[in-house]
Amino acid sequence: LFFINYICNIYNILYKNTNNMRKKIALITGVTGQDGSYLADYLIKKKYFVHGVKRRSSSLNTSRVDHIYQDRFEGKRNFFLHYGDITDAISVSTLIRKIKPDEIYNLAAQSHVSVSFEVPEYTGNADAIGALRILEAIKFHGLENKTKFYQAGTSEMFGKVKEIPQNEKTPFYPRSPYGVAKVYAHWITVNYREAYNIFACNGILFNHESSRRGGTFVTKKIVNALCKIKLGLQKTLYLGNLEAKRDWGHAKDYVFAMWKMLQQKKASDFVISTGKQFTVKQFVNLVLDELKIKYIWKGRGINSKCLIKGTGNKIVSIDKNYFRPLEVDTLLGNSTKAKKELRWKPKYNIKSMVREMVAEEINSLKND
Ligand code: NAP
Ligand code: F7E
């Protein structure tokens, strides 16, 4: 009996080790976006096989992942791109059946709040039902005990905030088709976790930025325009509501939190934020300071303008077209749960993030 026990123990140890040594497989929807590209970088460093879903587009849309692209004729590949679309249930299901991922990160979305007022039905299809399509495919292919799921939730779900700061228990009050769609995705994720025991987590991430941020989001738009103004390539930056307050972090810190959530013993939902908030106007000021431009603000609200001290050149002006049908006035997160349970804390603060975004923007403008 002792001998049989001994053999069993050795077998168990060997089996566990081979299993632990097996490279994990991740599937990222939205891999061509800001977060998807940083997450792919991170998981490749962690020795994962990374599969990413890209959409068919008439012009190239892979610039954020070109640096990790591997040709199919290369030996040992660890990064694979597949065509697919989160609004197409068959493509979602086929990819999940073929890849059988250990972890799925659902980052695909029509992610622009203002645009969601223009294309509300598409936003609902992609951002709400997209999450359901993945969860259903996990269940349909019997992967409930294998595949962990991350849903890219957002502080926009808090919208017209019910308390300050916002945590995992703060009630939602979305203010845009985007926010409403993400609330559906949040609850369907909780529902599949509870009904089918799928390891499914919602990250409730506050705004996060980087040099890879899309050019129509306010931070990247400000950095790009003010750097161009500094280099004499543009005259004026037009913005909307300068008074909105946001809790801005760095995308690299936030994708690390996504991964951490899927490494826990128990699936749960987490707010990820810095706990500091700034107005859009303060963000402009931080960028101007970083660029060493001396400025002065005049007027209020829609009549606000920012002039260069001395010359009087108008560098920031307001265009009412950039105002939204409804605004989220103030967002401020409380990440105590993530700090405690994930041992997560951001490495960047607003100043180091602005410094990096400005340096990379100047660099890329000079190389253009
Ligand atoms: P992003 O840069 O706009 O990237 C979105 C990604 O989704 C892109 O790869 C895009 O593809 C893809 N996509 C859009 N529609 C799709 C569809 N129908 N089928 C397949 N792919 C589709 O957004 P991000 O800033 O990286 O954000 C990632 C996720 O986190 C999104 O779900 C967003 O809503 C959420 N989120 C973002 C923030 C933030 O502050 N960044 C905060 C909270 C939550 P293309 O490249 O072809 O457009
Ligand atoms: O706007 C104001 C605008 O578009 C921030 C997405 O990643 O974060 C993002 O959503 C604020 C708003 O981000 C302009 O009215 C003023 O109050 O950069 P944004 P967002 O709407 O907060 C959340 C967490 C997400 O989940 C979303 O996917 O800036 N603002 N002037 C402007 N905004 C834009 N875009 N352009 C302007 O000219």
Specify the pLDDT at position 12. 55
* Catalytic one of 38, 136, 150, 156: 156
Instruction: Find the helix or strand (DSSP H, E) in which 202 lies.
Output: strand 200-205
pLDDT at residue 96 greater than cutoff 70? yes
Q: Ligand 1 site: residues with CB under 6 angstroms?
A: 29-30, 32-36, 53, 55, 57, 61, 85-87, 107-111, 126, 152, 154, 205, 207-208, 214
Ligand 1 center to 109 CA (angstroms): 4
**Residue 289 neighbours by CB under 8 Å, 6+ apart:** none
Specify the pLDDT at position 13. 54
Q: Tens digit of pLDDT for each residue in 328-360?
A: 999 999 999 999 999 999 999 999 999 999 999
pLDDT at residue 5 greater than cutoff 80? no
Residue of 207, 216, 316, 321 best suited for mutating to test ligand 2, as the one with most atoms within 8 Å of CB: 207
pLDDT at residue 299 greater than cutoff 60? yes
70 or 48: which leads in pLDDT: 48
* Catalytic one of 178, 184, 254, 348: 178
Specify the pLDDT at position 1. 58
Specify the pLDDT at position 41. 98
Q: Which residue's alpha carbon is nearest to atom 2 within ligand 1?
A: 33
**Residue 308 neighbours by CB under 8 Å, 6+ apart:** 293, 294, 295, 315
Amino acid at 257: A
pLDDT-derived band at 9, boundaries 50, 70, 90: low
Burial class (CB in 10 A: 0-12, 13-18, 19+), 120: middle
186 to 202, 237, 335: CA distances (angstroms): 6, 36, 18
Nearest bound ligand to CA 219? 2
Ligand 2 center to 185 CA (angstroms): 20
Measured distance CA(108)–CA(111) in Å, rounded: 8
Q: Which atom of ligand 2 is nearest to the CA of 319?
A: 38
Specify the pLDDT at position 4. 64
Ligand 1 center to 279 CA (angstroms): 24
Known catalytic residue at 156: yes
Specify the pLDDT at position 105. 99
Q: Which residue's alpha carbon is nearest to atom 10 within ligand 1?
A: 30
pLDDT-derived band at 74, boundaries 50, 70, 90: confident
Q: Tens digit of pLDDT for each residue in 185-232?
A: 999 999 999 999 999 999 999 999 999 999 999 999 999 999 999 999
What token pair was written down for 168?
A: 């995992």
Ligand 1 center to 358 CA (angstroms): 23
Specify the pLDDT at position 319. 98
Known catalytic residue at 243: no
Specify the pLDDT at position 192. 99
State percent of the chain over pLDDT 90.
Answer: 92
Q: Tens digit of pLDDT for each residue in 52-69?
A: 999 999 999 999 999 999
Specify the pLDDT at position 6. 66
Residue among 85, 84, 156 at smallest CA distance from 115 = 156
Nearest bound ligand to CA 89? 1
Known catalytic residue at 154: yes
Q: Is the peptide bond before 120 cis (omega within 30 degrees of 0)?
A: no
Measured distance CA(356)–CA(82) in Å, rounded: 31
**Residue 256 neighbours by CB under 8 Å, 6+ apart:** 42, 344
Specify the pLDDT at position 103. 99
Q: Are residues 135 and 198 in contact, defined by beta-carbon separation less than 8 angstroms?
A: yes
Ligand 2 center to 306 CA (angstroms): 20
Measured distance CA(347)–CA(345) in Å, rounded: 7
As a whole number, the mean pLDDT across the chain is 95
